[in-house]
Amino acid sequence: MELCQVCGLPVTQPQVVVSRGNPQAKLMVIGEAPGASEDEMGKPFVGRSGQILDRLLESVGLDPHADVYITNVVKCRPPKNRRPTGNEIALSRPWLQQQIELVDPDVIALAGSTAVEAILGIKGGITTLRGKWQDWQGRLLMPLLHPAYLLRNPSKAEGAPVALTRGDLIEVCNRLNTIKQCSVVPVLDSARSHKP
């Protein structure tokens, strides 16, 4: 069986699953690893988890194509959709780091515990970490519940995982808007100073 030369996972398709969305976006979403639909289509989050992710992004006013760059920690599909091992995460990490540096997002949303482990080195505890801003390498990180968890817990009730995640994404959206406003303030100020 052929193995990926980066992460060591079995090669099942001619292509790896790298990203979708806008490489110039100010928001990056990092998930775990491709599932069957992603593996087939060569793009992350295009199956049922992706549908709920897109719906939630849209519900807070973010366009998944224009406003977000979406990727995964691991670029190959783990057999039977198992969680990637620590070794597979570590081997894939330099690739993810390059993506972060090239896209240069202001905010990174970590979708689920594998993304939190890969970036922050924290194992477990996503239910307490979610919704809490983290400072990391000059960027703001927002840990989120994984969309697959939301599929398994679809209640729309207030305080349920879907509503909590929507609230976390509203935080993300507000922060992105604040950053945008901050960056135009100096321009407005200098324009004003030229007025009589």
Residues that bind ligand URA (CB under 6 A): 31-35, 38, 44-45, 47, 49, 72, 148
CB atoms within 10 A of CB 54: 19
Q: In this structure, is the dihedral angle defined by the CA atoms of residues 23, 28, 29 and 33, taken in order, positive or negative? A: positive
Minimum separation from the CB atom of position 79 to ligand URA (A): 15
Minimum separation from the CB atom of position 62 to ligand URA (A): 17
Nearer to ligand URA, 91 or 114 (CB): 114
Nearer to ligand URA, 83 or 192 (CB): 83
CA-CA distance, 182 to 74, in Å (whole number)? 34
φ, ψ dihedrals at 143, nearest 5°: -70, 135
Tokens of 186: 């100096």
Minimum separation from the CB atom of position 160 to ligand URA (A): 20
Nearer to ligand URA, 49 or 92 (CB): 49
Minimum separation from the CB atom of position 179 to ligand URA (A): 26
Which single residue brings its beta carbon nearest to ligand URA? 31
Q: Which residue has 């988890």 as its token pair? A: 49
Minimum separation from the CB atom of position 66 to ligand URA (A): 19
Length of the chain: 196
CA-CA distance, 113 to 31, in Å (whole number)? 9
Nearer to ligand URA, 31 or 64 (CB): 31
Tokens of 49: 């988890």
Minimum separation from the CB atom of position 35 to ligand URA (A): 5
φ, ψ dihedrals at 9, nearest 5°: -80, 155
Residues 6+ apart with CB under 8 A from 123: 113, 117
Nearer to ligand URA, 105 or 147 (CB): 147
Tokens of 43: 């793009």
Nearer to ligand URA, 91 or 111 (CB): 111
